[in-house]
């Protein structure tokens, strides 16, 4: 009976470790897909459409993309990862020009991919103070995924309002 208990405890511990080993890569893969969609959609907008906004006081297409980039850096910073030198998240939404906006977002995506690779197994339960709420590290990674997804949806609505078909749904 004692041997069976030891084996069962070992299996439970291994199972928990195995599940954790797939969590970050799973989130990372989903995030990469969402970010790729945002990039392809951003590329489908014209230079002029980057300044389009549905109403005064609401972020433009470009500002939405830049806001999402700034949040990528902000959340990672709150998780304890140093943002690259020269990145000013407080001024990010003032960047102008389609190429610069897309490049800024791509750089934030590359940074987040790097951060995902630095997350150590066994740390997902640690508390992170995001400034607006306290979550664990796993939930903080999910906030990054959800936030990018939220603004992907916003950009789809902006695209449709401007006659831009999301590249992944063309021909459907």
Q: Is residue 9 part of a domain?
A: no
CA atoms within 13 A on the CB side of 137: 18
Q: Is residue 16 part of a domain?
A: no
CA 140 to chain centre: 10
Query: pLDDT 10s per residue in the chain (172 long)?
Result: 666 555 545 544 544 444 567 889 999 999 999 999 999 999 999 999 999 999 999 999 999 999 999 999 999 999 999 999 999 999 999 999 999 999 999 999 999 999 999 998 889 999 999 999 999 999 999 999 999 999 999 999 999 999 999 999 887 5
Q: Is residue 168 part of a domain?
A: no
**What is the rounded CA–CA span in Å between residue 61 and residue 77?**
25
Q: Is residue 8 part of a domain?
A: no
Q: Is residue 90 part of a domain?
A: yes
Indicate the pTM of the whole model.
0.87
CATH classification of the domain holding 33: 1.20.120.450
**What is the rounded CA–CA span in Å between residue 121 and residue 24?**
9
Number of compact structural domains in the chain = 1
- The token duo for 172 is 């459907």
Domain enclosing residue 90, as ranges = 22-162
Q: Is residue 46 part of a domain?
A: yes
Q: Is residue 170 part of a domain?
A: no
Q: Is residue 45 part of a domain?
A: yes
């Amino acid at each position: 009976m004692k041997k069976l208990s030891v084996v069962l405890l070992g299996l439970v511990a291994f199972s928990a470790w195995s599940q954790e080993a797939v969590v970050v890569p799973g989130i990372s893969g989903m995030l990469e897909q969402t970010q790729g969609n945002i990039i392809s959609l951003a590329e489908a907008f014209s230079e002029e459409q980057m300044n389009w906004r549905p109403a005064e006081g609401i972020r433009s297409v470009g500002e939405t993309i830049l806001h999402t980039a700034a949040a990528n850096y902000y959340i990672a910073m709150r998780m304890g990862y140093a943002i690259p030198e020269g990145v000013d998240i407080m001024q990010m939404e003032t960047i102008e020009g389609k190429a610069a906006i897309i490049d800024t977002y791509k750089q934030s995506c590359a940074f987040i991919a790097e951060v995902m690779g630095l997350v150590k197994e066994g740390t997902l339960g640690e508390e992170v103070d995001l400034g607006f709420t306290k979550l664990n590290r796993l939930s903080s990674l999910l906030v990054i995924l959800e936030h990018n997804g939220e603004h992907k949806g916003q950009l789809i609505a902006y695209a449709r309002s401007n006659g831009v078909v999301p590249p992944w749904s063309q021909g459907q």
